Amino acid sequence: MNISELEQSLKTVRILVVGDVMLDRYWFGSADRISPEAPVPVVRVSQTENRLGGAANVALNIVKQGAQVTLLSVRGEDQEGEELESLLRANGIDSDFIIDKKLSTTIKTRVIARHQQLVRIDFENSPTHEVLDQTLERYSALLNDVDVIVFSDYGKGGLQHITQMIAEAKKAGICTLVDPKGADFEKYRGASYITPNKVELRDVIGPWNSEDELNEKVYSLRKNLELDGVLLTRSEEGMSLYQSENVSHFPTTAQEIYDVSGAGDTVIGIVAVLLASGCDINQSVTYANRAAGIVVGKLGTATVNFSELFSQGD
C-alpha cells in the first residue's frame, strides 16, 4: 500500500473509542502580588484554553489521520460537559455521551503564571451503576459499525464493564486495544493488544532486572490473559512489542523533548487507525513510534496529522 492508498483507506476507517474523558483547562495570567487573605500568589487570568483530555485526546489523534471516530463516554450534566461536547464537535469527533446527573464532568484546571504551573485543580467522581449499564447497551449497538475499538482507561471508573465489552468484540471478530491503568489487568482478558507504560506494567508484574526477565514476565502475562500482544511504551527508550515468541524493539525517533504528556494517547490512536486500514502490527507500531517522537517535540499540542506523519516517505 503506498501513501496515497493509505490516505484513501484511512478515510473509510471507523474507530470506536470508549473510556474516561476529561477537559484539560489552562488558565494563564500574571502573579504580581501576594494575597492579603493567605500567603499565596494572586493570579490575574488573562487567557484561558480548553483541550481535550484522556479518551477524548485519543479520539483527536485518530480524527487527525482522516479516519472516522465515535467516542462513547459519560459526562456530567454541567457546563463543562457541554464545553467538552462542543470542542469534540468542532474537531469532527462524533461523541455519544451518556449523561450522569450525579456526576461532575472530569476537569483538570492548571493555573499558570510566569511559565510555571502554580496549582492544578481537579473535579472528578465515578459514574453510577445505572449509567454504566446504559454505556454497555450503547456499546453493543455501536459495535457492529466499527473496525477497531480502543479502550482508554484513566482509572476514573467509566470502564466498569470492560471485560464484557472486550468479550463481545472478540466474538464479533473486532480488534481491541487497551491503554491500561491499575494493579489488576485481569479485567483486560482477551483484548488484542494492551499498551502499558513502564510504571503501569511494573505495577502488575513487579520489577525486572534484565530484558530476559522482562521477556519472561510479559510472556506469562500475555499468555494468562489471552492477549495477542503487549506493546510496552518505554519513554526515552521507545517501545517494545511482545507477541507469542517474539519481541521487537522500536527506538525512539524523538529529536527534541518539550512535552511528553499525551504521547501514550498518540501511540494507541495511531496503532488503531493503521491496523484498521490494513497495515500489519509491526508497520502500525513503527508509525505510532514515529508519531510519538513528533508529538513529544511539540509545545502545547499533542497530536500529529497525516501529512506530518507520512511526509518522511515509506
Residue 179 Cβ vs Mg ion, minimum distance, rounded to whole Å: 6
Task: Report the nearest approach of Mg ion to the CB of residue 262 (Å).
Answer: 8
For cell 496515497, name the residue.
Answer: 4
Annotated catalytic residues are: 265
User: Are 64 and 306 contacting, i.e. CB atoms less than 8 angstroms apart?
Assistant: yes
Judged by CB under 5 A, the stretch of 12-20, 162-170, 208-216, 257-265 that binds Mg ion is: 257-265
136 and 73 Cβ atoms separated by less than 8 Å:
no
Among 29, 53, 54, 264, binds Mg ion (CB under 5 A): 264
Minimal CB distance residue for ligand ATP:
264
Task: Pick the closer one to Mg ion by CB: 76 or 262.
Answer: 262
143 vs 205, beta carbon nearer Mg ion: 205
- Residue 47 CB, nearest distance to ligand ATP (Å)? 24
Q: Which is nearer to ligand ATP, 100 or 179 (CB)?
A: 179
Distance between CA 272 and CA 237 in Å, rounded?
Answer: 22
Decide whether 15 or 239 has the Cβ nearer to ligand ATP: 239
Residue 127 interacts, among Mg ion, ligand ATP, none and using kind-specific CB cut-offs from 5 to 8 Å, with: none
The entry of ligand ATP, Mg ion, none that residue 233 binds, CB within 5 to 8 Å by partner kind: ligand ATP
How many whole angstroms separate alpha carbon 64 and alpha carbon 253?
20
Listed residue (295, 265, 304, 291) closest to 53, CA to CA: 265
Contact footprint for ligand ATP (CB under 6 A):
197, 233-236, 238-239, 252, 254, 257, 260-265, 267, 289, 292-293, 296
How distant, in Å, are the alpha carbons of 5, 36, 99, 114, 151 from that of 54? Answer: 30, 37, 17, 26, 11
Neighbour count for residue 161 (Cβ, 10 Å): 18
Q: Please choose, out of 136-144, 235-243, 246-254, 262-270, the segment that lies near Mg ion by the rule CB under 5 A.
A: 262-270
Q: How many Cβ atoms sit within 10 Å of the Cβ of residue 237?
A: 13
Cell of 33: 502580588
